[in-house]
């Protein structure tokens, strides 16, 4: 992409996307509307600075990336790169632990579970029964 096109693109990004308040004031917007737009511009700019310092991408870049399903960065055009690039698939191995939870769907089944855990057999799920179920769910008991 030639230098003139890059400069036009950069001008579009910096002036038009960040200049909502300027556009409203020139279009005859009310003072309150202009104030709201200026506040939004300040918040967006602060968000862009924070986002860019952490991820290297502005909020607009993240929005475009999310909508397109690609890795987009508006400043790529200055580096003579494509605006959006395909996301490389990264395979990750995730170990999933499957836990069989006891059936506590009826008072009788709750009592049987409570008996197996040496708890008072009330047929209701109280704090001690809930704790026993939580421990099973998180692999601390079986």
pLDDT tens digits, 15-69: 555 555 555 555 566 777 778 877 888 888 888 888 888 888 888 888 888 888 8
- Detail the DSSP E strand segments found in the chain: 71-72, 84-85
pTM of the full structure: 0.42
* Better-scored residue on pLDDT, 129 or 80: 129
**Six-digit token pair at 78?**
């200055």
Place of tokens 């607009």: 60
Lowest mean pLDDT among 2-6, 34-38, 54-58, 86-90: 2-6
* Better-scored residue on pLDDT, 134 or 74: 134
80: left (phi over 0), alpha (psi -120 to 50) or beta: left
Lowest mean pLDDT among 48-62, 68-82, 84-98: 84-98
3-state secondary structure of 85: strand
Burial class (CB in 10 A: 0-12, 13-18, 19+), 65: middle
Length of the chain: 142
Tens digit of each residue's pLDDT (9 = 90 or more) over 125-135: 999 999 999 99
Q: What is the mean pLDDT of residues 71-75?
A: 84
For residue 104, give the DSSP letter: -
Burial class (CB in 10 A: 0-12, 13-18, 19+), 114: buried
């Amino acid at each position: 992409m030639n230098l003139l096109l890059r400069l036009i693109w950069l001008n579009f990004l910096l002036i038009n996307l960040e200049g909502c308040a300027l556009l409203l004031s020139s279009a005859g917007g009310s003072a309150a509307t202009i104030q709201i737009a200026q506040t939004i511009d300040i918040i967006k700019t602060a968000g862009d600075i924070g986002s860019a310092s952490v991820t290297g991408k502005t909020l607009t870049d993240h929005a475009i990336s999310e909508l397109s399903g690609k890795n987009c960065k508006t400043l790529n055009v200055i580096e003579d790169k494509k605006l959006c690039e395909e996301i490389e698939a990264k395979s990750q191995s995730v170990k999933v632990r499957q836990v069989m939870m006891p059936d506590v769907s009826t008072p009788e089944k709750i009592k049987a579970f409570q008996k197996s855990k040496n708890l008072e057999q009330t047929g209701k799920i109280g704090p001690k029964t809930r704790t026993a179920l939580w421990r099973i769910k998180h692999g601390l008991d079986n």
